């Protein structure tokens, strides 16, 4: 997840771009850079680390042009060092990129066979080379982009400029957001609205596979074949309250869209990007982890469902027995905790009364406790012997969203670390697992593109008598979390089930007024899940299925099918939960409910 800003207009591009990047720094802060026209060439300035380091380098820089692009980065391909920082410049072409080019290895090999010299380790640089090659054979910037588009696979938003066309920008996307701002004498492009609203309230939100051709202050929107599309700009009306919410109507929707950044922040302290290794920063000795015989995970509500997903991760990867329990039950059942055990307690606030009591019970028995919290120095954080931090940022909406996905990210890291400890420090799958984790923020942004689908579908969904959420394996706790969100926000009947339990009761509920939300990614239980879906369809259930990739079988079985990017089974829950959050949010909003402060609920449950 990265921040993109582009500007053409009469103001100083350096000032406009840097101010825009400052508004977007939450999207990436391991490096930053700009490329701005000066004396007919794009002068590039880059710096490692936070934006302040780039600002320091730019203090004495002067540019005489009126066109420029800028970028703040969170590394996926290549170390967070200056040579990998954006913009990438090749033969007069400069680009900035957010996302992942999934076929980068194939493209890199093809370019290497053509004796191309690479200046970085990134997938992004390849796009600059491909565009530059087309311009060399006589194409203009727009034609070059249209030629390159079919070669790219993955999730990306890209802004390109060329020194040969000093008043033009071409923006194109598939997945992560890209917005064009239209001022009377200027045009801006950015990956988020905050960078645009200081200059204009008239914007065009690019759709997937659309191309924006900016020529001066004129903007033309095309499809991927170059056919012009008619688009009406949207007026952004920000009140003071909406400014606090960064333009979103509710804090919860803002926090849903902050989840890619939250996951990146949760992962960042624990990843060795140079070697693609997990180095968990936690106060647990390697010898203790090697001798570990059992793990207990305790939480309430959403934290409990994250714990359930963690059980699948740890047992599946590290082969250590795991017990998961609701904190209010755990504290009263006089649990037996073997000496070589680890108890993981999860609480967003760090003040959840039952979870805090469970932690104190564990300490009384002399067993090590690891807290996963979002609030440093909270009660649970202070009292646990070991600590992991969600780093999700402040979560104002009562229904938890970004704290949940941050917890799932940390549980992935914990499972990998325990598997390494149990195998003597080596885990063959570790580099691939780390790459999967690094890809998550971009994949999550791809999923967020479907938000408008749920906004439209809510008008029909709100009339359903009830909802059944189903999944198998690690998808089962995500079904439970999805049902909880709808109950919390929309006050509707919703239940989560293990799909294999359908014949043991839930089938009696299914009719044409019951919505079935089935999580069915292509994993080891895919065929069995499809069999359960057939049973639901035969009883007249209205089916919304969520799977991975293009899946014609799911599409035929469902009224609506939502395709998610394919990733490792341990990471799939972080993608699956997003559409469930959006569904609950939009159904509740369409019913006129207070989404941020649902009735009868509080953000932090500090009493029993």
Radius of gyration of the chain (CA): 25
Alpha-carbon span 410 to 391, nearest angstrom: 10
Place of tokens 């932090």: 604
Catalytic residue check, 2 = yes
Sign of the alpha-carbon torsion through 297, 302, 305, 310: negative
Residue by residue, what is the 3-state secondary structure of 597-608?
CCCCCCCCCCCC
Q: Give the neighbor-by-neighbor strand order of the sheet with 41-48.
A: 41-48, 31-38, 67-73, 3-8, 187-190, 179-182, 202-205, 234-235
Which residue among 363, 522, 528, 603 is the active-site one?
603
Strands 179-182 and 41-48, bridge-based pairing: unpaired
Structure tokens at 98: 């957010």
Give residues with Cβ within 8 angstroms of 460, minimum separation 6.
none
Comparing CA positions, the residue from 530, 524, 521, 480 lying closest to residue 500 is 530
Partners of 190 in beta bridges: 5, 179
* Core vs surface per residue 397-420: b (16+ CB within 10 A) or e: bbbbbbbbbbbbbbbbbbbbbbbb
Instruction: Please say if 215 is a catalytic residue.
Output: no
d(CA 98, CA 178): 9
∠ CA 84-85-91, nearest 5°, is 80
As a whole number of angstroms, the distance between CA 210 and CA 213 comes to 10
3-state DSSP assignment of residue 54: helix
Helix (H) or strand (E) holding 386: strand 386-389
Residues annotated as part of the active site: 2, 603
């Amino acid at each position: 997840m990265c921040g993109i800003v582009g500007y053409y207009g009469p103001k100083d591009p350096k000032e406009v771009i840097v101010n825009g990047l400052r508004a977007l720094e939450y999207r990436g802060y391991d490096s930053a850079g700009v490329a701005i026209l000066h004396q007919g060439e794009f002068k590039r300035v880059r710096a490692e680390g936070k934006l302040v380091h780039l600002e320091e380098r730019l203090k004495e820089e002067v540019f005489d042009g009126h066109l420029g692009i800028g970028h703040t980065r969170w590394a996926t391909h290549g170390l967070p060092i200056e040579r990998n920082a954006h913009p990438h410049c090749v033969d007069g072409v400069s680009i900035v990129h957010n996302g992942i080019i999934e076929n980068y290895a194939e493209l890199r090999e093809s370019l290497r066979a053509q004796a191309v010299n690479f200046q970085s380790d990134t997938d992004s640089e390849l796009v600059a080379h491909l565009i530059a090659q087309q311009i060399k054979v006589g194409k203009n910037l727009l034609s070059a982009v249209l030629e390159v588009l079919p070669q790219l696979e993955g999730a990306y938003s890209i802004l390109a400029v060329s020194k040969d066309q000093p008043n033009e920008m071409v923006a194109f996307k598939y997945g992560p957001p890209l917005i064009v701002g239209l001022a009377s004498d200027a045009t801006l492009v950015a990956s988020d609205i905050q960078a645009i609203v200081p200059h204009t309230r008239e914007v065009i939100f690019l759709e997937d596979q659309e191309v924006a051709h900016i020529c001066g202050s004129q903007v033309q929107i095309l499809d991927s074949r170059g056919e012009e599309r008619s688009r009406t700009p949207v007026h952004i009306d920000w009140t003071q309250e909406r400014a606090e919410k960064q333009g979103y109507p509710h804090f919860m929707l803002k926090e849903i869209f902050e989840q890619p950044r939250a996951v990146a922040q949760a992962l960042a302290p624990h990843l060795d990007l140079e070697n693609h290794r997990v180095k968990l920063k936690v106060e647990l000795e390697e010898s203790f982890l090697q001798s570990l015989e059992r793990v207990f995970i305790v939480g309430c509500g959403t934290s409990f469902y994250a714990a359930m997903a963690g059980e699948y991760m740890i047992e599946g990867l590290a082969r250590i027995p795991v017990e998961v329990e609701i904190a209010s039950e755990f504290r009263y059942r006089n649990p037996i905790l073997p000496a070589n055990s680890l108890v993981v307690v999860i609480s967003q606030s760090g003040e959840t009364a039952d979870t805090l009591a469970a932690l104190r019970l564990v300490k009384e028995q002399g067993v090590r406790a690891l807290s996963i919290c979002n609030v440093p120095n909270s009660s649970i954080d202070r009292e646990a012997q070991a600590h992991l931090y969600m780093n999700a940022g402040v979560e104002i909406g009562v229904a938890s969203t970004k704290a949940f996905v941050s917890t799932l990210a940390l549980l992935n890291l914990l499972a990998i670390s325990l598997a390494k400890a149990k195998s003597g420090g080596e885990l063959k799958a570790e580099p691939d697992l780390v790459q999967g984790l690094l890809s998550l923020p971009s994949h999550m942004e791809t999923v967020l593109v479907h938000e408008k689908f749920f906004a439209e579908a809510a008008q029909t969904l709100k009339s359903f008598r009830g909802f059944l959420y189903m999944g198998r394996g690690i998808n089962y706790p995500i079904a439970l979390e999805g049902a909880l969100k709808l109950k919390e926000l929309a006050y509707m009947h919703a239940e989560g089930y293990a799909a294999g339990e359908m014949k043991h009761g839930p089938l009696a509920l299914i009719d044409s007024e019951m919505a079935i939300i089935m999580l069915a990614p292509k994993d080891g239980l895919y065929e069995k899940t499809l069999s359960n879906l057939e049973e639901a369809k035969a009883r007249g259930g209205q089916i919304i299925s969520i799977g991975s990739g293009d899946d014609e079988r799911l599409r035929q079985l469902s009224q609506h099918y939502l395709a998610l990017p394919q990733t490792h089974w341990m990471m799939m829950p972080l993608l699956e939960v997003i559409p469930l959050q959006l569904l609950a949010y939009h159904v509740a909003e369409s019913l006129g409910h207070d989404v941020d402060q649902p009735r009868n609920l509080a953000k932090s449950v500090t009493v029993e």
